[in-house]
Amino acid sequence: MAGYLVVAEHRQGRLREVTLEMLQAAGRLSRERGGETTALLLGSAVDHMAEELAGYSDRVVYIDDPLLENYTPESYGNAVAETIQQYSPELVMTGYTTQGMDLAPTLAVKLKMPFISDVIGLGYSGDMLQAVRQYYQGKVNARFVFKGNPPYLATIREASFETGSPAKQGRIEKLETTLKESTGLRRFVQFLEAEAGDVDITQSEVLICVGRGLREEKNMPMIEELAAVMNADICGSRAATDAGWLPPDRQVGTSGKAVKPRLYVAIGISGAFQHLAGIKGAKTVVAINK
């Protein structure tokens, strides 16, 4: 097989971090079993992103076409399917994101690919490629073996792998496309940017997170003082943001953001699986009860 193909995801001219995480996972599999890591980039005026991806993969193949400027399931689905058929990878990865969850099932049906979603780990057992998913509210990790013959397809949960550093000098190949004007039922209308907060907790090195156990908003100054001493940013569980102690963009968990700081201090948080899913990438977690 020809290795591992990662479908790069980008937004407003910038690669999304899940793309680099998937390339890190693909690189680990490549070192274990051989084969190349290939990043597939679709879009319009994306040469600069192709150059960036070359630092993380053995090869970058990209299609630059105005019809691919914004994601639509028909145009992206056809372009990715053509590339898979051309390169015959063992495994294709997309992000477990809004775009990836829309694209992957279409590819699985179109190309009859064995498909596992919401994957948090990948590895081999003998000659069998395995994927890890979570069950029972995140308390159990289950290993799955892909049934049938490759290529296989997986959607990867954000913050499940490190992003790594640009240590490669992959070759770049520009592909021609046979795309035509979309006649699908869906079309891109406009991109609406969520209102940006004053802190991007997904990039924070140290986070202090508060939950229902803090009891009252009047206790927040104590947390703010601690954060100042530790040079940390403050975030919260859903209970904290629903109570209005923090703005919604500071929420951590499945209905909030996935974070991966060096240090995560959880204060008065029950540890529900929805919250734990958002801190899987944290290096060190310190939990303080109520």
**Two structure tokens written together for 49:** 């992103």
Report whether pLDDT(1) > 60: no
User: pLDDT category, 217, cuts 50, 70, 90?
Assistant: very high
Segment 114-135 shows an average pLDDT of: 93
Taking each helix axis from N to C terminus, what angle separates 98-111 and 73-87, rounded to the nearest 10 degrees?
A: 50
Cis peptide bond prior to 114, omega within 30° of 0: no
Distance CA 98, CA 87 (A): 25
Report whether pLDDT(41) > 60: yes
User: pLDDT category, 51, cuts 50, 70, 90?
Assistant: very high
CA distances from 65 to 176, 178, 179, 199 (A): 9, 10, 9, 35
Distance CA 37, CA 53 (A): 11
Query: Using an 8 Å Cβ cutoff, are 123 and 130 in contact?
Result: yes
Provide the mean pLDDT of the chain.
Answer: 91
User: pLDDT category, 195, cuts 50, 70, 90?
Assistant: low
Segment 264-269 shows an average pLDDT of: 96
Query: Using an 8 Å Cβ cutoff, are 261 and 207 in contact?
Result: yes
User: pLDDT category, 190, cuts 50, 70, 90?
Assistant: confident
Instruction: State the pLDDT at residue 242.
Output: 93
Cβ-based neighbours of 218, under 8 Å, separated by 6 or more: none
Report whether pLDDT(130) > 90: yes
Distance CA 80, CA 167 (A): 26
User: pLDDT category, 176, cuts 50, 70, 90?
Assistant: confident
Element containing residue 7 per DSSP (H, E):
strand 3-7
CA atoms lying within 13 Å on the CB side of residue 59: 15
Range in 106-120, 194-208, 229-243 the model is least confident about = 194-208
Report whether pLDDT(88) > 90: yes
Segment 110-128 shows an average pLDDT of: 94
